Amino acid sequence: MQTKVFKPDQLVAAAAELAAGELVAFPTETVYGLGADATNETAVKKVFQAKGRPSDNPLIVHVADVATVKKYVADFPTTAEKLTQAFWPGSLTIILPLQPNAFSKTVTGGLNTAAFRNPRNQVTLDLIKQLGRPIVGPSANTSGKPSPTLAEHVLHDLAGKIAGVVDDGPTGVGLESTVIDLSTATPTILRPGAVTKEDIEAVIGSIDADHHKVKADEVPKAPGMKYKHYAPNAQVYMTAATDFKAAAAWAREQGEPFGLLATDQVLAEFSALAPAYRFSLGDSIVTASQHLFDGLRHYDQLPEVKLILAEEFPAQGLGVAYMNRLAKSAGQQRFTKSEH
């Protein structure tokens, strides 16, 4: 299959592919998603095949408006009304109980709930409206690999496996959406993102946060809950900014090229290292979140790199989401002076 690259003014053609049961990747403000008509089970099954994704992993349903969600759910509580008013379109995914047979089990992972999102990207909102039906949209990458923040990332993983990708340039946030479960007694964040726990509590009051690691035999209620995820080929080590000199010395002792993924302030101390082995996360948690996945993918293009030292940030605000993704990409591995 030849994978077409659609420009934002070619949405009629992109929607036609979706209507025909094909897969088209689409841009959002977080990462690129892999789109299929959510009401076409045959098309949805192709998503799992293209990604190599476990079939028990539920898919997020992307909608153009709140009214579409209400067609499918058994209940749309006051908390959902408040959250959609505050954060949609935006980086918040909401899990709600479904009406019987609203979607196929392929979409829901066999659960009686579904996750809905209204993305903050006008091109994709127009694509969904053009199709006239909601679209599923897991990240448009090979399962377990870093999520795509550029159309080029999508093509690297999925060229020849999908009908097309709508190229709208780099994504803005760079980390997948926050997922909140409203089907439980207490609203619970299952995956942190740019919409923080504090943001949500300011709207609906106290909530829980459940970042537990899903066991091999457990069905995750939201994407990205598996133990190791977002992983490049090289082994990533979470590294404190103050430990980079010691970590680099240890990495050199391993005798193989290594890469740095850090802020400009940290990288300034390593000007002697080849530029290809120094990937900038910018100068803040905002830019670090935007560039984390891009940096991990950069080192996948350098097969000689076996170790990546990636900078940690405080787990507060957006840093909670950043550290959640970094820890999973590292398989929880951290450089510590005492152990290395």
Q: Are 201 and 207 in contact (CB under 8 A)?
A: yes
338 is in an annotated binding site: no
Q: Binding site annotation covers 57?
A: yes
Phi, psi dihedrals of residue 116, rounded to the nearest 5°: -120, 145
Q: How far is CA 145 from CA 28, 126, 232, 295, in A?
A: 18, 28, 6, 12
Query: What is the distance between the alpha carbons of residues 188 and 179, in angstroms, rounded to a whole number?
Result: 8
DSSP 50-114: HHT--TTS--EEE-SSHHHHHHHBS---HHHHHHHHHH-SSSEEEEEEBPTTSS-HHHHTT-SEE
- What residues are paired with 6 via a beta bridge? 166
Task: Say whether 299 counts as a known binding-site residue.
Answer: no
DSSP 168-203: --S-SS-SPPEEEE-SSSS-EEEE--SS-HHHHHHH
Cβ contact 35:18 at 8 Å: yes
Q: Is 62 a known ligand-binding residue?
A: yes
* Residue 36: Cβ within 10 Å count: 31
The answer on whether 3 is annotated among ligand-binding residues is no
> Is 196 annotated as ligand-binding?
no
C-alpha angle 210-113-106 in degrees, rounded to nearest 5? 110
Kindly tell me the burial class for residue 6, based on how many C-beta atoms sit within 10 Å of its own C-beta (0-12, 13-18, 19 or more): buried
Residue 177 known to bind ligand: yes
Annotated binding site for L-threonine: 30, 62, 117, 177
Annotated binding site: 30, 53, 57, 62, 113, 117, 139, 147, 177, 191, 230
Annotated binding site for ATP: 53, 57, 113, 139, 147, 191, 230
